[in-house]
Amino acid sequence: MPNPNQGSVAIYPGSFDPITYGHLDLIERGSRLFNRLIVAILSNDAKEPLFSVTERREMLAQSVKAYPNVEVDSFNGLLVDYASQRGATALLRGIRAISDYEYELQMALMNRRLRPDIETVFLMAGEAYSFVSSRLVKQVIGLGGNISGLVPPLVEARLRDRLLGEKQAR
């Protein structure tokens, strides 16, 4: 049950492998909509992320320092259970294209069925970032492309070390 003294709390879940400026755009906007925004990294053993949860938490924490009402955390299990445990009444999700909406609508309806007291709030991706995804950023830098302006400099440096460092070692 949410604590009425803490104001509105929202969860912005994702893998954030790695965080992009598209994510940061949603975090900045979400931080204005809610009293508290928890950026929650899903710990999913079925996926093979490039960065560990600890590394992603570090990059996120550095990237959101400017927002005092934003917290970084991680979870596993059902998102709505985690949200309920954290006292959140909203889930923040970004939509880049119609294909995102179809998937996100399914998830939102299932979450509503599981926890009707938790709303899903959709924000449209900022125009400048509507094409950016973590997967695409990893592909481009892995092939030697320029990703400046798509991810924070600290993330770009880590990507270069992880992806290009491995290639140079071969």
**Per-residue model confidence as pLDDT tens digits over 17-64:** 999 999 999 999 999 999 999 999 999 777 789 999 999 999 999 999
pLDDT in tens, 138-155: 999 999 999 999 999 999
140 within some domain: no
- What range does the domain containing 95 cover? 4-131
Rounded mean pLDDT, 95-121: 93
End-to-end CA distance of the chain: 53
Is 135 known to be catalytic?
Answer: no
Is 167 known to be catalytic?
Answer: no
> Which of the following is catalytic: 96, 112, 130, 133?
96
Give the alpha-carbon dihedral of 44, 45, 48, 49, to 10 degrees: 40
90 within some domain: yes
144 within some domain: no
101 within some domain: yes
Based on the structure, what is the number of domains in the chain? Answer: 1
Determine what percent of the chain is predicted with pLDDT higher than 90.
81
Is 134 known to be catalytic?
Answer: yes
> Which of the following is catalytic: 36, 63, 134, 138?
134
97 within some domain: yes
Are residues 123 and 26 in contact, defined by beta-carbon separation less than 8 angstroms?
Answer: yes
User: What CA–CA distance (Å, rounded) separates 163 from 155?
Assistant: 12
User: What CA–CA distance (Å, rounded) separates 126 from 123?
Assistant: 9
> Which of the following is catalytic: 15, 23, 36, 84?
23
> Which of the following is catalytic: 32, 47, 65, 170?
47
Q: What is the 3-class SS of 54-113, one letter each residue?
A: HHHHHHHHHHCCCCCCEEEEEECCCHHHHHHHCCCCEEEEEECCHHHHHHHHHHHHHHHH
161 within some domain: no
Q: What is the DSSP letter of 130?
A: T
User: What CA–CA distance (Å, rounded) separates 148 from 143?
Assistant: 14
How far does Cα 166 stand from its chain's mean position?
26
pTM of the complete model beyond 0.85: yes
The CATH number given to whatever domain includes residue 65 is 3.40.50.620
Are residues 123 and 91 in contact, defined by beta-carbon separation less than 8 angstroms?
Answer: no
83 within some domain: yes
> Which stretch of DSSP H or E encloses residue 167?
helix 165-169
Is 57 known to be catalytic?
Answer: no
